[in-house]
């Protein structure tokens, strides 16, 4: 890494990265929780009330690992395989009726207007979103840190969809070629990109045109929420559609740009031996001069 990154409003350069790597070498027994607390304490990273921002520190560490810059210790397992915290606990008191109602076939007009709720940590709706993704999305529920969670309801207050947006991928060849930015510009600019990591229309909801309508609405809400969460404006959104499963029609209908496909390898596949599903890469510009902004960093 030659240029500093900005994550959660913190600038991460070579010195900060070396410090984190030093902790990992010197204390291999530390858990991710212990490491995030150490980072927040050493950097005096606190809320206005004076509390250590260890959750933000954990998100920062996860992003660095996802981008291949560090290797974190394995997640701790206590008493067998653990479920994500959001999937644990009692049924949500706000949720009325059966978890999986009968299939509803409706027109889009019958559902509109929809309402959007950004659900945060500790809210009961967040656990319900996590459970729906774990059960009904083929990729399951991801690590929630750094992910903006949305729950969408129809005009009668019934849940219709869940969407998650998180940090952009560290490197995507066709994305970099389409943007036309340099290596240094990419490292500086990733914080202005978001990734639509999960999109689930609940399986009992069937309404033609709903997917494209929600994609457009999501980005309008995300522009405000991304700035609030990361401290950076949103200029571009990406997503990856597995070609053998989906045609990507809804993204194209919502004006997303198909810019190419992945190479069928994971970020850890340095010897080109592992195979991963090939995915179509879609980008959605959020501001008219997005390319000039990203290539001007």
Across 5-14, 27-36, 89-98, 237-246, least confident range: 89-98
Rounded mean pLDDT, 33-37: 89
Name the pTM for this structure: 0.72
Q: Give the CA angle between residues 75, 53, 29 to the nearest 5°.
A: 30
Quote the crossing angle between the two packed helices 32-42 and 14-26, to the nearest 10°. Answer: 140
Quote the pLDDT of residue 7: 80
3 state SS of 29:
coil
Within 10 Å of residue 111's Cβ, how many Cβ atoms? Answer: 21
Within 10 Å of residue 51's Cβ, how many Cβ atoms? Answer: 10
- Confidence grade of residue 145 (pLDDT, cut at 50, 70, 90): confident
| CATH 3.40.630.30 domain span(s) along the chain | 85-295
Q: Is the pLDDT of residue 85 over 60?
A: no
Of the two residues 159 and 89, the one the predictor is more confident about is 159
- Confidence grade of residue 255 (pLDDT, cut at 50, 70, 90): very high
User: In whole angstroms, what is the distance from residue 143 CA to residue 139 CA?
Assistant: 11
CB 253 within 8 A of CB 213: no
User: In whole angstroms, what is the distance from residue 223 CA to residue 227 CA?
Assistant: 7
Give CATH for domain 85-295. 3.40.630.30
Within 10 Å of residue 187's Cβ, how many Cβ atoms? Answer: 20
Share of the chain above pLDDT 90, in %: 55
Task: Determine how β-strand 159-167 pairs with β-strand 205-206.
Answer: unpaired
Query: Phi-psi category of 80—alpha, beta or left, where left has phi over 0 and alpha has psi -120 to 50?
Result: left
Q: Give the CA angle between residues 151, 202, 113 to the nearest 5°.
A: 55
- Write down the H helix ranges in the chain: 14-26, 32-42, 54-66, 108-111, 124-136, 173-179, 183-189, 210-230, 249-253, 290-295
Structure tokens at 270: 């340095």
DSSP 46: B
- Confidence grade of residue 111 (pLDDT, cut at 50, 70, 90): very high
**Rg of the chain on CA atoms, in Å:** 20
CB 35 within 8 A of CB 55: no
């Amino acid at each position: 890494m030659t240029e500093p990154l900005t994550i959660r409003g913190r600038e991460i350069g070579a010195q900060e990265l070396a410090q984190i790597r030093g902790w990992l070498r010197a204390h291999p027994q530390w858990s991710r929780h212990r490491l995030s607390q150490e980072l927040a304490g050493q950097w005096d990273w606190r809320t206005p009330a004076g509390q250590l921002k260890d959750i933000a520190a954990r998100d920062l560490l996860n992003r660095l690992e996802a981008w291949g810059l560090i290797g974190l210790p394995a997640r701790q397992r206590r008493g067998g395989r653990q479920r994500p915290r959001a999937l644990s606990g009692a049924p949500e008191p706000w949720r009325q009726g059966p978890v999986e109602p009968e299939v509803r076939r409706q027109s889009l007009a019958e559902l509109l207007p929809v309402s959007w709720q950004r659900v945060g940590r500790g809210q009961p709706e967040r656990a319900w979103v996590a459970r729906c993704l774990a059960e009904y999305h083929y990729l399951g529920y991801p690590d929630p840190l750094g992910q903006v969670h949305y729950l969408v309801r129809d005009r009668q207050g019934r849940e219709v969809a869940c969407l998650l947006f998180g940090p952009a991928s560290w490197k995507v060849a066709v994305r970099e070629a389409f943007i036309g930015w340099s290596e240094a510009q990419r490292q500086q600019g990733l914080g202005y990109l978001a990734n639509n990591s999960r999109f689930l229309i609940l399986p009992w909801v069937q309404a033609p045109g709903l997917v494209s309508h929600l994609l457009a609405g999501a980005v309008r809400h995300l522009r405000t929420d991304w700035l609030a969460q990361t401290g950076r404006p949103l200029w571009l959104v990406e997503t990856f559609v597995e070609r053998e499963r989906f045609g990507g029609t809804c993204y194209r209908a919502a004006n997303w740009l198909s810019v190419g496909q992945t190479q069928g390898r994971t970020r850890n596949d340095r010897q080109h031996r592992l195979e991963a599903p090939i995915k179509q890469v879609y980008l959605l510009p959020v501001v008219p001069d997005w390319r000039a902004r990203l290539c001007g960093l």
